[in-house]
Structure 1
Amino acid sequence: MTQLPGSYESYWMESVAGADHRALAAGLEVDVAVVGGGIAGICTAWELTRAGHSVAVLEADRIAAGVTGYTTAKLSSQHGLIYAQLLKSLGAEGARLYARSQQQAVEYVAEVSVQLGIDCELERVPAYAYAESSDQVEQIQAEAEAAREAGLPASFVTETGLPYPIAGAVRIEDQAQFHPRKYLLALASDMVGRGGHIYERTRVVSLDEGKPCRLTTEGGATVTARDVVVATHYPVFDRAMLFSRLEPSRELVIAASIPGEHDPQGMYITQEQNTRSVRTAPYGTGQRLLIVTGEKFKPGIGDVSRRYEELAAWTRDRFPGASITHRWAAQDNTTTDRLPYVGRFHPGAKHVYVATGFGAWGMSNGVMSGRLITAHITGQELPWSKLYDPTRLHPLREAPSLLKLQASVAKHFVGDRLPASHADSIEDIAPGTGAVVRVEGRRCAVYRDEDGDVQAVSARCTHLGCIVHFNDAERAWECPCHGSRFATDGTVVQGPANRPLEPRRLPTGTEDSDR
C-alpha cells in the first residue's frame, strides 16, 4: 500500500480530549446501569439522570470513543433510500412514524445544545441522497415522493453543490451536522453534575436478570440496578439471540482540507460505487474539512489497504486540491428489516433494555434511543415504541435478509475451518502483517511486528468461535461472523466478544525464524 498522508486517527478523537473517569473498583447500587458509553448510552443516561434517577454508565474503554468517536456525524432523518422501502413494508403510518422519530432527534440536539450552551459546531444543512447514473433516477424520484408522504420537507432535484454532475437527488431540508464528541462530552459533564456516575475501563462480562439485576465487571466488581440498558453497539449478551438478526459492516473514512469556497453546502450520500458519503466540518480559517466515507465491507474481509487507496483516489478526483489530513474506519450493524432494535431486550425481559442496529445512522438513532428507553423506564409511551420493538419479527419481510445473513455466517463458521490455512507457515508472515496459521494442530492468529517479533493468540473468536481474519490496514483481528474485533495481542477492541483471544505459545525458535 502507498502510504497515505495525514493522521491515522479520527478527527473527532484527535480534536477534543475527554475528561478521565476512573474504573469501577468496588460494588455499586443504582436505579439504572447503562452498559456502553457511546451516543445511545450517554443520551439515555443523561435523560434518566435529568428525570431524577440514579444512573451509572459502565464503559469498557473511554466514553464517546468507540463507534461514536469514528462516525461521520451526520444528524439526519434522511437515511439513504429508505422511505420508499418503509412505505412498501410498513405502510404510510409506519413510514411517518420513522420520519417523525428521526426528525425529532435532529431538532432535539439543536434544542439541547442551546439549553446547555454546547458549542458542538452544529450547522443546519440539507441532506441529499443522489445518483449519478440516469438508470437510478426513477428510484430517486420514488424516494422523494415517499419521503414527502412521510412528512419530511423533501424534493427531487437535479442540481446540488457537488463539484460534479448528478442525474438526480432527494433533497431534505432542515438537517444537521455537528461534532459528536463535543456534544456528548458536554452531556456527560452535565450528567455527572446532576449526580450521575461514569466509569471507564470497566468492561461488563455478565448479567443476572434478577430483582434487582446484577452486572459483573471484568475486574470482579458487582453493580446492582433495578433496570439495565445494553447500549454496547452490538449486544454483549446473547440471550436475546439478536446476533442472528444483525449484520455488521465497516466503512472507511478519508478527511481532507479544502478551501471554504469549495464547500458543497450539504450532506450527500449515494449507494453507487460501493457507497460514497460526503459532508464538511469547520477546519481553521478559510478552510473546511471534507469528510468522505465509503468502501463498505464486512469485518474480516481483507485488502482494507486497497480500499483506502480507492477512497483516497476518488476524493482527489472529485475534489481536486483536497489535502488528506485524517483517515479512520467506522463500524455499525444493520437489522434484517433496516429498523433499529430499541426497547425490551427479549420477550421475557422486564428490566433490561437494548439499543442496537442503527444501520450507519447512529447519530439520530442514538438520540432517539435515549428518549425512547427513558420513556420505557419512566412508564411513558411514545408513538413509535412498537416500530422499534426488538421482539418484533416479520417473517415474510425479513426472510430473504435473514437467510442471506445466516448463510454468510455459516460460510465463515464452517468454511474457515477447512484444511487450507490463511498462511502455510509462520515464516511466510512479513513484518507488519498477520495471518492464521496451523501450529501443532491448532489454528493460531499470528502477527509479526515491524521488528520481526511474533505474537500468537487463538484464532477462535471468543463470542461464538468463528475464525478471525487479519485487517491489514488497521492491524487488528476481526471476526467475519458478528464483527468482534481484537488487537494483535488479543485484547477486545469491539464486541460482541467480551473476552480476549487466548495467548498461544509457539514452538521454540519460531519467533526468530526469519532473523
Structure 2
Amino acid sequence: MNTETGIQGSYWLQTAPPPAPAPPPSGDLSVDVAVVGGGIAGLSAAWELAREGREVAVLEADRLAAGVTGRTSAKLTALHTLIYDRLRRTRGPEGARLYAQSQAAAIRHAAQVVDELCIECDWEEAAAYTYAEDPGRVAELRAEAEAAREAGLPAEFVTETDLPFPVAGAVRVADQAQFHPRKYLLALADDLRRRGSTVYEGTRVVGLTEGEPCVLTTDAGVSVRAGEVIVATHYPIFDRALLFTRLSPRRELVVAGPVGEDVAPRGMYITPEQSTRSVRSAPYRDGTRLLIVTGEHFTPGTADVEERFDRLSAWASDRFRGFTPTHRWATQDNDSTDTVPLVGPLHPGSRHTYVATGFGGWGLSGGIMAGRLLSDLVNDSPVPWDGLYDPRRMASVAREGTSFLKHQAQVAQHFVGDRLSAVKSDSPDDIAPGDGAVVRVGGRQCAVHRDESGRLQAVSARCTHLGCLVAFNRAEQAWECPCHGSRFAPDGSILQGPAVRPLEQRDL
C-alpha cells in the first residue's frame, strides 16, 4: 500500500490473500519432478504432472502466485498485440499457425480446468482487440488481422469498439477470456496437494547439479533429488544455458479503479502506441467494474517511476469518465530476442532439466501453454509446437539479429558505462528520506537508502547476478538491475531474480 496516498497495491493479491505459508522442507527429499517457481508456468506444469500420477515438489522462493502472476493485468488471449504478421515473416505461415494453435489451446484448457475444479475465479469470456488511434497504423493492423486469420484465429479488422473514445482501427478476436489469476492458481495448488504432491514456500533454490537424479540445493542447505527438474522462475536463475543473452527485462505499471458499468469496456484492449496502453475491466461492486490500465514499459532501473505512474493515471482519467485510481502496482516480464517464448530443454546437453521463460508480457496463456508442453516433454509425448518454443533453436538474422545486438549493446552500456557515471550523490547526506542513490564510500560504490525516519542503510551497488550496478526505484522502494532485471529491497534482500544472493551489506 502507498501510505502517502492510501492507494492499494495489486488488486489480485488484495482480493485473494494467501493462506498460511507452506513451510520449507525440513530435510533432504526425493521426488519424481521438482518445479522451481510457483507462478503460473510452474504451478501449471506441476498440476499437469501431479494429475498424471507424478510426485511433484514445487519450490517457491516467496509465496505462491505472488510475484509476476500476482501483478498481471490478467488477460487470457491468443492475440498478442502485433505478433502474427511478424511471425509470418520470420517463422513462416506454419510457425504463426503453431503459435496461434498453442495459445488458443491454452485458453480452452484453462476453461476446462475451471469447470473441472469448480474454481470461482471471475471467469469471463471477452473479445480481445489490438487497436490504434493513429490512422497511419491502419495498414499495420490490417496486415495483423490477415496474418492472425491465416494462422487460424477468428480475427477481423474493425473500426468500432466499446472504448469511450474513437480509434482508427483494431484487430478483433472473439472468444478470449479474463479471470482472477490468483484464485485460479491457488485452486490448482490445493488440488495438487490433494493428489499427493507438495508445495514449499520461502524456499530459494541456489544450485543445480544435473544427473540421474538431478540435485537442487536451497539457500538453507537442503538437497532435493528429482528425476526431472523444471525451472519456471520467470527469469532463469541458472546461467549455464546463456539465456540471459536472449532475454531483455521490461517493467510495466498498472493503475486500477472503479468506474460505472456504462463506462467500463467489456472487451480487452491493447495498443503499442504511447509506450503501450492495455485496458480491461473486472467484476467489482454493484453498479461498477474495476478498470485496469497497464502501460509505460521501461527497463528496470532506468525511469522516473512516479512520473510514469502519474502519466498513466492521467491518461486513464482523461479517457474514462469518473476514473480515480484506488490500486496501483507494477509487473515485470522478459522479451525473447526473437519474440517467441523459450520453453523446453534448459540447454543443448539437457536430458532431465527444462525451462520456461521469455513470455513477452503474455505469461498467462503462455504459462498455461508451457505447463502442458513441459508435462508432455517430461512424459516423452510428442507435441506439434515443441520445436517452435525449443530454447535450443538456432537463431537467424531475420529472427533475432537486430534485437539481439540491441540488447547486448544495452547490457554493455550499463555494465561499462554505469561504472563511469553511476555515482548519483557525492555524500549520503544528500539523500532525501524515502530515496536512495549510489554513493562512493571508501573507494567502493555503495547503494545507500534513507528511510522515512532518516536512518541510512548501505549495501553493495553491484548486482549479485552478473555484476551490473543497481539503481533506485523510489516509487517501489527497490534497487533494480538494468541488465537482467534483478530487484532488491533497500536492505539488499532479493525481491526478484535471476539473482539468488542478496546484496552485500556495507558499513558507512
**Partners in 2 of 1:375 and 1:362 — Cα distance?**
19
**Alignment correspondent of 2:13:** 13
Matched, 1:473 2:475: yes
Give 1:279-298 correspondences, 5 Å limit. 279-298=280-299
**Partners in 1 of 2:16 and 2:88 — Cα distance?**
40
- C-alpha displacement of 1:195: 0.3
SS at match of 1:417: helix
**Partners in 2 of 1:371 and 1:57 — Cα distance?**
16
| Conservation of the 8 A alpha-carbon contact between 2:422 and 2:438 | no
**Partners in 2 of 1:393 and 1:472 — Cα distance?**
40
Q: Give CA deviations for 1:430-471 in whole Å, capped at 9, x if unaligned.
A: 010000000010000000001110000000000000000000
Matched, 1:212 2:213: yes
**Partners in 2 of 1:247 and 1:38 — Cα distance?**
19
**Partners in 2 of 1:18 and 1:302 — Cα distance?**
31
Q: Give CA deviations for 1:43-79 in whole Å, capped at 9, x if unaligned.
A: 0000000011000000000010000000011000000
Matched, 1:432 2:447: no
Which residue identity lines up with residue 178 of structure 1 in the other structure? F
**Alignment correspondent of 1:185:** 186
- C-alpha displacement of 1:323: 2.4
The unaligned stretches of length 5 or more in structure 1 are 507-515
SS at match of 1:176: strand
Tell me the TM-score normalised to structure 1 length.
0.97
Report % sequence identity: 61
Give 1:259-278 correspondences, 5 Å limit. 259-278=260-279
Give 1:14-413 correspondences, 5 Å limit. 14-19=14-19, 20-397=21-398, 398-413=400-415
SS at match of 2:189: helix
- C-alpha displacement of 1:3: 8.9
**Partners in 2 of 1:302 and 1:325 — Cα distance?**
23
| Conservation of the 8 A alpha-carbon contact between 1:302 and 1:469 | no
Q: 1:319 to 1:104 in 2, by over 3 A?
A: same
**Partners in 2 of 1:225 and 1:97 — Cα distance?**
31
**Partners in 1 of 2:85 and 2:421 — Cα distance?**
46
**Partners in 2 of 1:98 and 1:503 — Cα distance?**
46
SS at match of 2:236: coil
Q: 1:322 to 1:497 in 2, by over 3 A?
A: same
**Partners in 1 of 2:7 and 2:109 — Cα distance?**
33
**Partners in 2 of 1:466 and 1:254 — Cα distance?**
30
Which residue identity lines up with residue 201 of structure 2 in the other structure? E
Q: 1:211 to 1:174 in 2, by over 3 A?
A: same
- C-alpha displacement of 1:5: 4.4
Which residue identity lines up with residue 117 of structure 1 in the other structure? C
- C-alpha displacement of 1:7: 2.7
Tell me the TM-score normalised to structure 2 length.
0.98
- C-alpha displacement of 1:325: 1.1
**Partners in 2 of 1:407 and 1:321 — Cα distance?**
44
SS at match of 1:261: coil
SS at match of 1:416: helix
| Conservation of the 8 A alpha-carbon contact between 2:263 and 2:321 | no
**Partners in 2 of 1:108 and 1:435 — Cα distance?**
47
SS at match of 1:22: coil
**Partners in 1 of 2:479 and 2:394 — Cα distance?**
32
**Partners in 2 of 1:200 and 1:76 — Cα distance?**
29
| Conservation of the 8 A alpha-carbon contact between 1:23 and 1:202 | yes
The unaligned stretches of length 5 or more in structure 2 are none
| Conservation of the 8 A alpha-carbon contact between 1:76 and 1:175 | yes
**Partners in 1 of 2:257 and 2:3 — Cα distance?**
15
**Partners in 1 of 2:363 and 2:474 — Cα distance?**
26
Residue from 426, 438, 449 that aligns with 1:447: 449
| Conservation of the 8 A alpha-carbon contact between 1:25 and 1:219 | no
Q: 1:420 to 1:478 in 2, by over 3 A?
A: closer
Q: Give CA deviations for 1:141-200 in whole Å, capped at 9, x if unaligned.
A: 110011100000000000100000000000001100000000000000000000010000
Q: Give CA deviations for 1:125-153 in whole Å, capped at 9, x if unaligned.
A: 00000000000000001100111000000
- C-alpha displacement of 1:395: 2.4
**Alignment correspondent of 1:460:** 462
| Conservation of the 8 A alpha-carbon contact between 1:5 and 1:324 | no
- C-alpha displacement of 1:6: 4.6
RMSD: 1.1
**Partners in 1 of 2:55 and 2:3 — Cα distance?**
49
Which residue identity lines up with residue 392 of structure 1 in the other structure? R
Which residue identity lines up with residue 39 of structure 1 in the other structure? I
